[in-house]
Amino acid sequence: SREDRNELVRSSSHTPSNKAQILAMPQFGLRDNLIRCELLKNEEQYTYLEDFSFFLGTYNVNGQMPKESLRPWLSCTLNPPDLYCVGFQELDLSKEVFFFSDTPKEPEWTKAVSEALHPDAKYALVR
């Protein structure tokens, strides 16, 4: 029964004196297993599964400003992705960028990406 399991988890015949002893106590493993078991039994009450599509891409811009549309790269599928994850390497090669994280090139690349996202969906920028 649930009461028997709870009592088994709470009962202890020795007093732990350090972290290693606490972690080595078998009832902590049992407690974790019981919690996992209960969570799995009730999983359908608090979870649901849904498929998402992702576009993951990186671009080495070599310190350059955007010169052409990114649409062929970012809108390459018929159906729009649910989420875009775009990373840039070598956005700014100046020495100052190593001391200050801001670069004047970032807004230009953000604009280029925003203009090239799939036209059939709306997206929000998350940093």
Same domain, 60 and 108: yes
This prediction's pTM: 0.59
pLDDT of 62 higher than 60: yes
pLDDT of 28 higher than 90: no
CA torsion angle for 73, 78, 81, 87 (degrees, to 10)? 0
DSSP letters of 68-81?
S--HHHHT-SSSPP
Indicate whether 121 belongs to any domain.
no
Indicate whether 64 belongs to any domain.
yes
Task: Give the whole-angstrom CA distance, residue 64 versus residue 69.
Answer: 14
Mean pLDDT of the chain: 79
Q: Would you place residue 40 in the very low, low, confident or very high pLDDT band (cuts 50, 70, 90)?
A: confident
Number of domains making up the chain: 2
Query: In this predicted structure, what is the pLDDT of residue 14?
Result: 46
Segments forming the whole domain that contains residue 68: 54-116
Indicate whether 95 belongs to any domain.
yes
- State how far the alpha carbon of 21 is from the alpha carbons of 11, 18, 26, 38, 40, in Å: 16, 5, 10, 26, 29
pLDDT of 97 higher than 50: yes
- State how far the alpha carbon of 64 is from the alpha carbons of 15, 72, 74, 105, in Å: 64, 19, 18, 8
Same domain, 58 and 31: no
